[in-house]
Structure 1
């Protein structure tokens, strides 16, 4: 166990983390509200792929709502200003939004993999009802896996990294965090490599190169997004687990602060996921362009495109 007197706080680190969380909240809220509006106002044709993206938006919004409270948590030197039960619910919802977001980002990658690489499989004939059923099961499974945040003793306030609840709680959360990074990241890499190889074989003609470039950009975006948001937190947690028995207060404090900064980067998923939506459908590209031009005072330039934009790119 780490030294018991390692309780020194860093105003600089905590302020930086709180500022980053606040920025993620503002940008994530704007981007995902625009995405939600696009789903309900512009998309007439829904496919399983669209349903997974819709659930990804909901998970991002849930995560975004929790960010201001997490920012306040760090500004108050990692203490909760509200009662134990609301604090447990807050960190439960934060963990739930993050894990559900990862799950549906993986589902989006796998759906595209099966449709492009194995179009003959029956999984590609999945009905909308079945896709909604899978989505509900994902939410329930992630809620069960995140339930440990609700069991933190009343005297403690759980943080976004493993902590509280005794040795079993620490081990459970660490193992769960590792699995929730390694398994989805491996599946996303595997699926994207397979899709890219299949598209390079099929889209060799010069007139199909724009479609190939768009698909390549989408696949690269998903991989980079996942790595940027979750790889630093994963590496920080590995170091925390490796040095948990250290007697050096300085080492442990440095690792905890690094974990705080790395953990705050996971909120970037709510900011960067709209990039995935833009590559997935022209409807989203038009919506975000319209918002951008409106913010610049040039809203009249965002005209409706002449092509069909109510379906997702194949």
Structure 2
């Protein structure tokens, strides 16, 4: 009987030891996941946003300089691209605050700037998407109506559409202000991302609606007009031997569609997954939740690469923008050179 008691006690001790080992193993795994997320926030996000800020600021400043001092005859496409540049520039102004806060692991700029920062971030994202969609429409119209006689090709129409885009997106993302506010965790003030909203269910419903209206519909528009452009050129190929003259508009639409799909799809998928993982009805292990959160963190700078890449469109567009900009820079260089030579002669 004593032997059975000792045997039972030994088995209980082994069971308790096994439970402790499993608990330690789970704790180590969770710590590793937490370390990964912290590493991404402290090093990956600041580095990525800093690169985007420097390159994007240079590109968009050059583009703004070209629009203000070089482009005299504005077309509908110029209006859309100028608004795209303004949207990118406004977003780039938010990046220094993000870089500083992620590096120091604390938000020190107050609740108002927290909301403004996140608001401008989403404003840029969805205005960029819509302006790229209308650029695709404009390029298709340029091929179908090369003499710009269609109402959609008028500059006044483009100005009204651009104004409508700003108003629509502002209304569309206004709930972001409600869902977001600075928070205090472990005596540290943070400006949480939209995916960290305390109202997970409501935020997920809103995010799904925003994904459909602000992302999927414009994506379909871009690809539809790309296909319409291809079909139109295919049908006119025999009638227009010089169809190669339409190569530039086609390149613009192809780049817009490819960039749009590659940059924005991972961000929207992971944002919705990150919000869904916080709902109580969807039970996930701590590590699984951290993996989803880490993947969403990785996708954010990728989505906002468009602000760095968009200046490419300013040089691929029509209206001889590249030639006028280079000519203006050469004139400024010659003027400065002559002034310098006259002073030191």
Instruction: Give secondary structure in 1 for the equivalent of 2:242.
Output: helix
* 2:171 alignment partner, one of 144, 155, 159: 144
1:265 to 299, 302, 305: 302
Provide, for residues 286-309 of structure 1, a one-character-per-residue CA deviation record: whole Å limited to 9, x for no partner: 46768999xxxxx78xxxxxxxxx
Counterpart in the other structure of 1:307? none
Q: Work out the CA distance in 2 between the residues paired with 1:137 and 1:217.
A: 27
What RMSD in Å do the two structures reach over aligned CA positions? Answer: 3.1
From 318, 323, 326, the counterpart of 1:281: 318
Partners in 1 of 2:182 and 2:253 — Cα distance? Answer: 45
Separation in structure 2 between the aligned mates of residue 38 and residue 83 of structure 1, nearest angstrom: 36
Quick check: 1:163 aligned with 2:163?
Answer: no
Q: Which has the larger radius of gyration?
A: 2
Which of 91, 96, 104 in structure 1 is aligned with 2:123? 96
Q: In the TM superposition, what whole-angstrom CA distance separates every residue of 1:99-122 from its partner, at most 9, and x where no partner exists?
A: 111111111112223443478998
**Which residue number corresponds to residue 131 of structure 1?**
158
Q: 1:284 to 1:257 in 2, by over 3 A?
A: farther
Distance 1:222 1:176 in 2: 20
Q: CA deviation at 1:229?
A: 1.7
Deviating more after overlay: 134-143 vs 235-244: 235-244
* Equivalent residues, number: 290
Q: Which moved more, 1:15-24 or 1:111-120?
A: 111-120
Please give the alpha-carbon distance, in whole angstroms, between the structure 2 residues aligned to 1:170 and 1:227: 21
Q: TM-score of the superposition, structure 1-length normalised?
A: 0.80
TM-score by length of 2: 0.74
Q: Distance in 2 between matches of 1:122 and 1:92?
A: 38
Question: In structure 2, how many angstroms separate the alpha carbons of the residues matched to 1:134 and 1:282?
Answer: 20
Secondary structure in 2 aligned to 1:18?
A: helix
CA 210–113 in structure 1, closer or farther in 2 if over 3 Å, else same: closer
Residue 237 of structure 1 pairs with residue 265 of structure 2: no
Equivalent position of 1:29 in the other structure = 57
Structure number with the higher helix fraction is: 2
Distance verdict in 2 for CA 1:182–1:118, change over 3 Å: farther
| C-alpha displacement of 1:129 | 2.9
- Structure 1 window deviating more from structure 2 (283-292 vs 103-112): it is 283-292
Regions of 4+ moved over 6 Å? 118-122, 287-293
CA–CA separation in structure 2 for the residues paired with 1:287 and 1:226: 28
Q: Which residue of structure 1 lines up, in the alignment, with residue 72 of structure 2? A: 44
Secondary structure at the counterpart of residue 310 of structure 2: helix
CA distance 1:151–1:195, change in 2 (3 Å) = same
Deviations 1:260-292 (A, max 9, x none): 110111221111111122111364334676899
The structure, 1 or 2, with the larger RCO (C-alpha pairs under 8 Å, 6+ apart) is 1
Determine which of 241, 257, 265 is the counterpart of 1:223. 257
State the alpha-carbon separation in 2 of the partners of residues 195 and 240 from structure 1. 37
| Contact 1:174–1:237 (Cα < 8 Å) also in 2 | no
Query: Is the 8 Å Cα contact of residues 162 and 173 (structure 1) preserved in structure 2?
Result: no
Query: Is the counterpart of residue 65 in structure 1 residue 93 in structure 2?
Result: yes
